[in-house]
Structure 1
């Protein structure tokens, strides 16, 4: 059994109190070990602070300390049984634990995961994240232990009533997971039309790549770039061109643009763009340029296995 839960371990933002200013900064800096220690120190003097308990659970969650996170969220659920977000975080931490243990052991807690999410959905009719979690949970669980496409679609409908974009994306996910790419494409396109966010475009691009339709993938990325003007999309086009050996000139041009305009916000290190250029030059039978760019990739990230493997293939040409 394998499922992905949309657990957003975002710390509670209702800080208000000056005592939590330092903790808020630590979370923003992703210094979760220090945040954990700060919250623990605060709880020594204020053991009944629900906000501090929640923050401690969040700090544990970011560090993948699932048992510790579960314990904190469980305290919250027992203290305030009618708080939907507490049930959501509790179910999410349980779900993430299920992913980290054996399938047999995971079976023992799946019921608790489902119950926590269902309780959160019952308590808050507008809780979008919980409904996303239920969409994924019901799709990815085997039928014998409660998996159900119809139930997943039910929560997708609830999502659509709250947010058309989320509803369309959820339905696209369901049909993609159920190997019905035509329906998945339909709903991802509807999400793009209504919302048009980078996420909407990315879902459709990923579908096209999974369905081995690189031409459509590139066309969709270009449409996304026309609207959002993000440098990262140059890398996406180059990646598809390199992987599928199509539109090599366009891929080459986009990768050079990506490298020229690169910033840390683009996400993918320049080494990967150089690797894709090496792939393109390999397709073009240009051994000299291929070696040049794979060399640049390895210099920047020397321990990446695909880089080394490509270099060996180039040398064997």
Structure 2
């Protein structure tokens, strides 16, 4: 009888792990509806609760808070649970008026706890650094403590360290130092698209679209020897198309970049969705006067779960 029970428990555990693996794969591919269903089926697991917190954050921050609190209570030594709690509580602080300081305190505690549990994780340290940079002093913001995290990240990883230092210089409004480091980062880390993309995004914010497109083009042309760099190259393709839409310039180049993106870019949360890329491409078709092609693309994404995208598509279809 004991052997039968043990076998049943083993089979049940294997089934749960299989569901979790499928759920994580769906999540990473951006298939939120399927991921949520699979995670809910395994919601007794702390890992599933962490992911449900992430999924709900874009829809209902209160629901996300409930899931992540359960995850931390169940797995208090799980660094990812604390890091995710830091993100969720940070968003709650931004959404709240009367409880903002309380949420900020919880966010800061969670980021610190994640770093304590996994001190070599640069992502967790970046989360803590960003809190110190962005939060007001009364809520725990502190430039000196942010700089301390920058130095720790630099000691762990050159690439992440340069990105962290750039964030710090930008927050300090040291534009001379920022531009000097951005330029030297391109030289120090050849073949990496990241810093060309960052330069392009800076130029987009300044509405200097042709110059931005030039930076994105340089990013696309980098060798991209690792997976992270390949992700950067795909981001550059999407952002080139977006800049072309916003500036109504170099439309042919924007179309080519987005068409390549839709053919080659994998479905992953690290990248803009194919639906958004299709929307930008349809925008460019409109600029070319190709309304039939634009309408077809808009119709293909009008049922998107992304509420903002669905709303924007609806507006566009009314004008065609």
Q: How high is the TM-score relative to the length of structure 2?
A: 0.69
Q: Which residue of 1 aligns with 2:6?
A: none
CA distance in 1, matches of 2:190, 2:14: 37
Say if 1:23 and 1:35, in contact at 8 Å, map to a contact too. yes
Q: Residue 18 in 1 paired to residue 26 in 2?
A: no
Number of matched pairs: 270
SS of corresponding position for 2:265: helix
CA distance in 1, matches of 2:112, 2:263: 42
Report how far residue 159 of structure 1 moved. 0.6
CA distance in 2, matches of 1:178, 1:306: 38
The residue correspondences of 1:94-113 to structure 2 (distance < 5 A) are 94-99=89-94, 101-113=95-107
SS of corresponding position for 1:103: coil
Q: Which residue of 2 aligns with 1:210?
A: 205
CA RMSD of aligned residues (A): 3.4
Structure 2: runs of 5+ lacking an equivalent: 1-12, 28-34, 58-63, 225-229, 267-273, 303-309
Greater shift in the superposed pair: 132-141 or 24-33: 24-33
Q: Residue 36 in 1 paired to residue 35 in 2?
A: no
Distance 1:231-1:277 versus aligned 2 partners, 3 A rule: farther
Q: Which residue of 1 aligns with 2:55?
A: 62
CA distance in 1, matches of 2:84, 2:259: 40
Report how far residue 256 of structure 1 moved. 4.3
Q: Which residue of 2 aligns with 1:243?
A: 246
Distance 1:183-1:104 versus aligned 2 partners, 3 A rule: farther
Say if 2:71 and 2:81, in contact at 8 Å, map to a contact too. no
Say if 1:169 and 1:187, in contact at 8 Å, map to a contact too. no
Report how far residue 195 of structure 1 moved. 6.8
SS of corresponding position for 1:104: coil
Report how far residue 233 of structure 1 moved. 4.3
Distance 1:103-1:254 versus aligned 2 partners, 3 A rule: same
Q: Residue 154 in 1 paired to residue 148 in 2?
A: yes
SS of corresponding position for 1:269: helix
Report how far residue 300 of structure 1 moved. 3.8
Q: Which residue of 1 aligns with 2:283?
A: 275
Distance 1:298-1:23 versus aligned 2 partners, 3 A rule: closer
Deviations 1:155-193 (A, max 9, x none): 111111111111111121233344444433333444444
SS of corresponding position for 1:262: helix
Say if 2:69 and 2:85, in contact at 8 Å, map to a contact too. yes
Say if 2:182 and 2:195, in contact at 8 Å, map to a contact too. yes
Say if 1:232 and 1:258, in contact at 8 Å, map to a contact too. no
Q: How high is the TM-score relative to the length of structure 1?
A: 0.70
Q: Residue 129 in 1 paired to residue 123 in 2?
A: yes
Distance 1:35-1:154 versus aligned 2 partners, 3 A rule: same
Aligned with 1:305 (options 287, 293, 312): 312
Say if 1:242 and 1:277, in contact at 8 Å, map to a contact too. no
Deviations 1:229-260 (A, max 9, x none): 857645533432342244x3xx3144146437
Say if 2:241 and 2:255, in contact at 8 Å, map to a contact too. yes
Greater shift in the superposed pair: 146-155 or 302-311: 302-311
Q: Which residue of 1 aligns with 2:265?
A: 265
